Amino acid sequence: MKRFLSGDEALAEGVRLARPNIISAYPITPQTVVVEHLSEMVEQGRLDAEYVHVESEHSALSCALGASATGARTFTATSSQGLLYMAEVLSYAAGGRFPIVMMNANRALALPWNIYGDQRDSLALLDHGWIQLYVQDNQEALDAVLMAYALAEDERVSTPVMINLDGFALTHTYETVDIPEPEQADSFLPPYRTKNKFDFEHPVNIGYSAGPEFNRYYKHAAHWDMVDALPVIDEVEKRFAEVFGREYPGVLEEYRCADADRIIVTLGSVAGLVRQVVDDLRNAGEKVGMVRLRYMRPFPAERLVKALLGVGAVGGSSEASGEASGDDNADDGARSKAPAARSIAVLEKDISFGAEGTVFTNVSSALLQAITCAPSASACGIRDICNFVGGLGGDDISYEQVEGIFALLKRRASIVEDPNAALVDASAEASNAASGAAKAAAHTSPLDPRKKVYFLGIDSLEEGGAR
Amino acid sequence: MKQTENLSAALPPTNPAAPLPPKPLTAKTLPDDEFFFGHKGCAGCGGALVVRQTLKVLGPHVICALPAGCMSAVGFNFPQLSFANNAMITPFAATASVLSGIEAGLRAQGIKPEDCTVVGFAGDGGTADIGLQALSGAIDRNDDILYICYDNEAYMNTGIQKSSLTPFGAKTTTTPAGAHVHGCLTRKKNMFQIVAAHDIPYAATASIGYLNDFIKKVQKAATIHGTRYIHVIAPCPTGWGTREDETIDLAKEVADCGLWYLAEFEGSQLCGMPGGKYIVNRRPKEFSSVEAYLRRQGRFKQLDENDVQEVIRERDIAWAWLDDLATGAK
Ligand SMILES: Cc1ncc(C[n+]2csc(CCOP(=O)(O)OP(=O)(O)O)c2C)c(N)n1
Ligand code: SF4
Ligand SMILES: [Mg+2]
């Protein structure tokens, strides 16, 4: 059945189809519509779940924790300050291996107070052991709920999942969404079965303390089970496509990357805009592409590296890199298409103050490791990589800005390729240390290859432009 | 490795349909079954007695949840897991909300045995300070849970710091006693009054020194539906500066000298009276010496005559209030 739904509404429909036993959530803009809709569904009898009216986000997730320990399927939803307020409980849920599914409406963090979308809330909490998925549109929001439960509850994974929707850009924007039939959903997602729960015949102690001599085993298992969830994501999506006829590209989506000399790596709803710019520039003969990260945890390092280094880029296989590079033909095919060198921009709605965007850090780390360990495995070199921070506090990321990023990458590339340019720059600085103004000018020049982090709407993407 | 089977193999098989023992239990007739043993609590720990005796009353189908605090710290040390019944640790602030989740989860799946009580054991800090919001939320929803506060009058697990249930004059590591200040300057927050103000179905105060009274209240609470709250005074030799063989004696004396009272509140739902009903279970004709009670504890060593008079004054105000409520309800 096709309906015109907001992201929040589409997600709530997904939750209804997943039939959770327990919903415990606390309202916060822009997630509110989700909890309102779920309450309505429960009242109307369309959803046979217990809605617990908790008094805070901390209690929302704690309640889900207790319910999950009884073997119940549980759902919660939050955003921004609410996510931070429940942060303590995130590690309990992940550490206890409770497959809770949560929706997070990505929203800015105070101060200054701001209710609009950016991704600092969830990206600040990457390290708490939750699988993190970023969706691009409302259909994906609905479908993600069903796949999230399938993934979280898979015995090999047993890890909670956070589904992130850009605040307002998705939560409050209407699109046509195909709502599956309940029977279809049931055939895809069977009831939750687990051994990780209370048992009246053989009582258990759940969630205890483990000192230095044992702790590492739990953390080791949590890490590798999360890494090993990567192929499970593909399995789940394959099964999803069989039942519902909709295909998803796995942990990341490669868009027109194979022969691209410039690629924007991004995540969430802004991917729609980047895709449009890529198409338009392609029509104008420019070789540009996009990688949309769907999962930030587990981090899809292997597939990302393949996409960015041009190895086996066509088809976006998520097989182990050993297999791919063992296949000479596939490799050669990619090599012949890949450019000699390529520039990468990471576009994200996040900044880790004093460092750089968190997605940029993750992408850079994956690339550094790949290039260090096996330089010859690359089909192309990376000549430049930089970070664009935009959309903070709901700021619009415009078509022109995305176009500007691709244009800037091109101009920077010509500088990077001219060794004298960099040399002149460095020696000028050394010989004229007193000239603070010159130094500042060099650092604010968008063409300075040392400049890595650009704030969209503040930093000029044009040489000579105002800062 | 995601969870650990514990020592329950040694337990006799249980009958899920078994009704509660028909007769009121006493210290003499409490079952021999042990559900909390092998823990690392100090000798003479009052809190450990609260947990142990409660579980004996509630039987094998209990599910308990414990937040950060001494009882979880001494009871959940992998691989030495000390609960023979289902049990879990909770975030410090989340005793009540985890209990709500457990209860809702069981009910939503239709798997809650008739004789299953979902019970939490939280310290004074976990109850009156950081966990108060979640407790208030659970009472507001009237979730079917039993919440037991074992009150040792300070944050013991972190090394004896002041909580809002630390009494006036007590020395803790954050209310040190010196020439200028003689320990804790605030009065004990009245949790009994706070939960009663929610019109909770059932609330009680108790002392592990008066075991029969405590057992009776746990047994009564187990038969009532909705949120139930029992606040038990549970001396802590380590934090109070007392000998480990004095615990029971102190728990009696605190009620005898009137600094603690044994009372019940039945909510309007239960007793049918608007505003509910207060019952005083034990009204000493004459209070024993407050000074004697204070002087035997290291934490009150520094109190001078004025301080003791202040404690006595506060006691009399508290009793006037309680007597008023209890007689007003008759
Ligand atoms: C969120 C959080 N804050 C602080 C702590 C540290 N902490 C652990 S136990 C505890 C004191 C517990 O006191 P109480 O509830 O009275 O129980 P007791 O230890 O006295 O039995 C504190 C402060 C924690 N574990 N979690
Ligand atoms: S410090 Fe006190 S409350 Fe904690 S285990 Fe020891 S006696 Fe019990
Ligand atoms: Mg305490």
**pLDDT tens per residue, range B188-218:** 999 999 999 999 999 999 999 999 999 999 9
Structure tokens at A307: 């996409």
Rounded CA separation B311/B317 (Å): 10
Torsional class of B122: left (φ above 0), alpha (ψ -120 to 50), beta (otherwise): beta
A290 within 8 A of A363, measured Cβ to Cβ? no
Predicted local confidence at residue B2, as pLDDT:
35
Indicate whether A406 and A391 sit together in one domain.
yes
- Residue A202 contacts B, CB cutoff 8 Å: yes
Q: In this structure, are residues A135 and A70 in contact, taking their beta carbons and an 8 Å threshold?
A: no
pLDDT band of residue A445 (cuts 50, 70, 90) is confident
Residue B247 CA to residue A91 CA, distance in Å, equals 37
What is the per-residue pLDDT across A251-283, written as a single tens digit (0 to 9) for each? 999 999 999 999 999 999 999 999 999 999 999
Clarify whether residues A215 and A274 are in a common domain.
no
> Positive or negative CA dihedral for B97, B100, B106, B108?
negative
CB count, 10 Å around CB of A450? 12
Rounded CA separation A396/A270 (Å):
10
- What is the predicted pLDDT for the residue at B322? 95
Answer yes or no: is the C-beta of B230 below 6 A from any ligand 1 atom.
Answer: no
For residue range A4-17, what is the model confidence (pLDDT) as tens digits?
999 999 999 999 99
- The verdict on A62 and A182 lying in the same domain is yes
Instruction: Among A341, A371, A401, identify where a domain stops.
Output: A371
Type of residue numbered B191: M
> Average pLDDT for residues B254-261, to the nearest whole number?
98
Mean pLDDT of B308-329: 92
What is the percent of chain B with per-residue pLDDT over 70, rounded to a whole number? Answer: 92
- Report how many domains make up chain A: 3
Residue A270: which CATH number? 3.40.50.920
A201 has pLDDT over 60: yes
pLDDT tens per residue, range A338-356: 888 999 999 999 999 999 9
Asked if residues B255 and B171 have their Cβ atoms less than 8 Å apart, the reply is: no
Burial label, A341 (beta-carbon count in 10 A; 0-12, 13-18, 19+): middle
- Measured on CA atoms in the order B117, B120, B124, B127, is the torsion positive or negative? negative
| Mean pLDDT, all residues of chain B | 93
Residue B72 in contact with ligand 1 by CB distance below 6 A: no
Shared domain for A417 and A332, answered yes or no, is no
pLDDT band at A463 (very low <50, low <70, confident <90, very high): confident
**How confident is the prediction for chain A on average, in pLDDT?**
90
Cα A268 from chain centroid (whole Å): 7
Nearest CA in chain B to A85: B93
CA gyration radius for chain A? 23
Q: Are strands B63-67 and A381-389 parallel, antiparallel or unpaired?
A: unpaired
Q: Tokens at residue B85, please?
A: 């019944």
| Residue B14 Cβ contacting ligand 1 at under 6 Å | no
Does A169 lie in the same domain as A95?
A: yes
The answer to whether A62 and A90 are in contact (CB under 8 A) is no
B156 lines ligand 1 (CB under 6 A): yes
Residue A227 in tokens: 């890494």
Find the distance separating the first CA and the last CA of chain A, reported in whole Å.
50
Cα–Cα distance, A242 to A254 (Å, whole number): 22
CATH code matching the domain that covers B29-329, chosen among 3.40.50.970, 3.30.300.30, 2.60.40.10, 1.20.5.510: 3.40.50.970
Q: Tell me, what's the pLDDT at A425?
A: 47
pTM confidence score: 0.92
Residue A421 pLDDT: 57
- Evaluate whether A391 touches A117 at the Cβ level (below 8 Å): yes
Q: Which of A200-204, A306-310, B156-160 has the lowest mean pLDDT?
A: A306-310
Quote the domain boundaries for residue A42.
2-244
- CA–CA distance, A168 with A438 (Å, rounded to integer): 42
Instruction: Spell out the domain ranges in chain B.
Output: 29-329
Same structural domain, A281 and A323: yes
The pLDDT of residue B31: 95
Return the exposure string of B272-296: e unless at least 16 CB atoms fall within 10 Å of the residue's CB, then b.
eeeebbbebbeeeeebeebbebbeb
- Residues of chain A neighbouring B90 (CB-CB closer than 8 A): 62, 65-66, 92, 207
Find, in chain B, the residue whose alpha carbon is nearest to that of A88: B91
pLDDT digits (tens, 9 = 90+) for A369-409: 998 877 777 888 899 999 999 999 999 999 999 999 999 99
Whether A74 has its CB under 8 Å from any CB of chain B: the answer is yes
Last-in-domain residue among A207, A225, A244: A244
Query: A63-120, pLDDT tens digit by residue?
Result: 999 999 999 999 999 999 999 999 999 999 999 999 999 999 999 999 999 999 999 9
Which residues from chain A sit within 8 angstroms of residue B16, using beta carbons? Answer: 200
The bridge status of strand A74-79 relative to strand A22-24 is: parallel
A76, β-bridge pairs: A102
**Which of A331, A356, A371 corresponds to the end of one domain?**
A371
Contact B86/A62, CB-based, under 8 Å? no
The whole-angstrom separation of Cα A2 and Cα A311 is 39
Protein residue with its CA nearest to atom 26 in ligand 1? B92
| Shared-domain flag, residues A240 and A347 | no
Whether residue B287 is predicted with pLDDT greater than 50 in this model: the reply is yes
Same domain, A326 and A300: yes
Mean of pLDDT values over A35-57: 98
Give nearest CA residue, ligand 1 atom 3: B92
| pLDDT band at B13; cut points 50, 70, 90 | very low
Report which DSSP code applies to B127: I
> Over the stretch B148-160, which tens digit does the pLDDT of each residue have?
999 999 999 999 9
ipTM over 0.95: no
Phi, psi angle pair for A162, to nearest 5°: -110, 120
Q: How far is CA B202 from the centre of its chain?
A: 14
pLDDT, residue A439, reads: 52
User: pLDDT digit string (tens) for B44-102?
Assistant: 999 999 999 999 999 999 999 999 999 999 999 999 999 999 999 999 999 999 999 99
Centre of ligand 1 to C-alpha B289, Å, is 32
* Per-residue confidence band for A450, with pLDDT thresholds at 50, 70 and 90: confident
Beta strands in A192-287 (DSSP E): 204-206, 252-255, 262-267
Chain centroid, CA A196 distance in Å: 28
Q: CA A147, CA A328: separation in Å to the nearest integer?
A: 34
What pLDDT is attached to residue B157? 98
Residue A320: predicted pLDDT:
35
User: Considering chain B, what percentage of its residues have pLDDT values greater than 90?
Assistant: 92
pLDDT at A448: 87
Q: How many CB atoms lie within 10 A of CB A81?
A: 17
Residue B125 C-alpha to ligand 3 middle, in angstroms? Answer: 5
pLDDT computed for residue B3 by the predictor: 37
Compute the half-sphere exposure of residue A261: CA atoms within 13 Å on the CB side of its CA: 16
Chain B nearest CA to A48, separation (Å) = 9
- Asked whether residue A466 carries a pLDDT value surpassing 80, the answer given is no
Q: Are residues A238 and A329 in the same domain?
A: no
Burial of B7 (0-12, 13-18, 19+ CB in 10 A): middle
Say if residue A132's pLDDT is above 80.
Answer: yes
Give yes or no: residues A438 and A293 share one domain. no
With 0-12 / 13-18 / 19 or more C-beta atoms within 10 angstroms meaning exposed / middle / buried, residue B40 is: middle
Does the pLDDT at position A449 exceed 70? yes
pLDDT attached to residue A465: 53
Listed range (A135-144, A197-206, A324-333, B320-329) with the worst mean pLDDT: A324-333
- Across B297-304, average pLDDT: 97
CB contact residues (below 8 A), chain B span 64-103, against chain A: 65, 72-73, 76-79, 81-91, 93-94, 96-103
Residues of A with Cβ-Cβ distance to B78 under 8 angstroms: 208-211, 214
Q: Which residue has the higher pLDDT, B11 or A101?
A: A101
pLDDT at A134 over 80: yes
The CATH number that applies at residue A235 is 3.40.50.970
Task: Assess whether pLDDT exceeds 70 at residue B140.
Answer: yes
Is 70 exceeded by the pLDDT of residue B18? no
pLDDT at A378: 81
Pick from B94, B63, B49, B67: which is nearest to B232 by CA? B49
